[in-house]
Amino acid sequence: MDSLKIGNITLPHRAVFGPMAGFTDAPCRRLMAQHGAGFTVSEMVSSRALVYHDHKTVSLLKAEPNGAPYGVQIFGEVPQIMGEAAAAIEEYEFDFLDINMGCPAPKIVSGGAGSKLMLDPDLCGRIVEQVKAHTTRPVTVKMRKGWDADHITAVECAKACEQAGAELIAVHARTREQMYAPGIDPDIIAKVKAAVKVPVLGNGDIHTAEDAVEMMQRTGCDGVMIARAALGDPWLFERVNAAIEGLPAPKEPNLQARMNALRRQVEEMVEQKGEYTAMPQARAQTMHYMKGLKGAAALRRCCCTLSRLEDLDELITAVFEEQRKAGLDPDDVREVPFP
């Protein structure tokens, strides 16, 4: 299987980490890349905020070397402003520029951006055209199946974006109306793949390595985009990559490795943002690491109270204690000394 490329960028793997508001900060991106994400993407940033040099927005773009290509994702509904936003961030370090045409959040679509763009394939093309005209980086697009059951427009939008210069298209196989349920429609990914020549990534409902392989086989897509399922389980990328590449499944991480990854991620968040800002954000991150543990409900309640870094050590101690109480031996020999 040939390498997957975005323009002149060769991806190390075909499973990539998708952006999620409130989660895909630099520590999270680095963790995912460390475990095999083919690329990572910034949280979605407003084109208008970039044009007006909003410093808080610009801080979201900060790239950290993590061993995988890194993209900045922007959103907006006005082609000229999207182009100006692309020009405004040319000085920053990143590898490609991603345009969001898939976000279903009411505050985004009410302004005409995100998945609202799926109602107007011509506008999608003009946005890509303007962004391409103002950046030296490859341009990619993240879109949905369409707006609702009466407006299934992914094929038309993908063709317009490709014609305007997009070099990769990721398709979340649900409409905006469906949000994140029910199950995805793999057929729309197959239709987009058949309609364009640029690489296509399939997105939605990939929880296991088998899910990823099945999506690629069924749709013919070139790779998969994984988001929510990798939170608390960055090793999912290792399993998916092995399955796609026909390699033996990697060894599952033990509890010690999982808690070390959690501790490193939160510690980096505190280093970057300060304890006051980072710890409330870390509550949601830590909850994902409780999946599948004995006493998970009680442990998640503990996650909701985190306010200092030392609270995290108390949570991790409780994690090991809950497993012992359940008759498990969690092998508590911690690889990384906690400060």
State pTM to two decimals: 0.92
Domain at 5-245, CATH homologous superfamily: Aldolase class I (3.20.20.70)
Q: Give the relative orientation of helices 154-164 and 186-195 as an angle to the nearest 10 degrees.
A: 30
Residue 308 among known ligand-binding residues: no
Bridge partners of residue 172, in order along the sequence:
144, 203
% of the chain surpassing 90 pLDDT: 80
How big is the CA angle at 237 (ends 235 and 241), to the nearest 5 degrees? 125
Q: Round to whole Å and give the CA distance between 23 and 233.
A: 13
Residue 225 CB coordination number (10 Å): 24
Query: Average pLDDT over the chain, rounded to whole?
Result: 92
pLDDT 10s digits, 242-262:
999 999 999 989 899 999 999
Residue 161 CB coordination number (10 Å): 27
What is the pLDDT averaged over residues 35-59?
87
Q: Is the pLDDT of residue 60 over 80?
A: no
Residue 227 among known ligand-binding residues: yes
pLDDT 10s digits, 201-224:
999 999 999 999 999 999 999 999
Catalytic sites, residue numbers: 103
Compute the CA torsion angle 83, 75, 120, 205 (nearest 10 deg): 140
pLDDT of residue 241: 97
pLDDT 10s digits, 268-307:
999 988 999 999 999 999 999 999 999 999 999 999 999 9
Residue 142 among known ligand-binding residues: yes
In the chain, where are the structural domains located?
5-245, 255-328
Residue 338 pLDDT class (50, 70, 90 cuts): very low
pLDDT of residue 11: 96
The first and second tokens of residue 264, run together, are: 């490193």
Residue 20 among known ligand-binding residues: yes
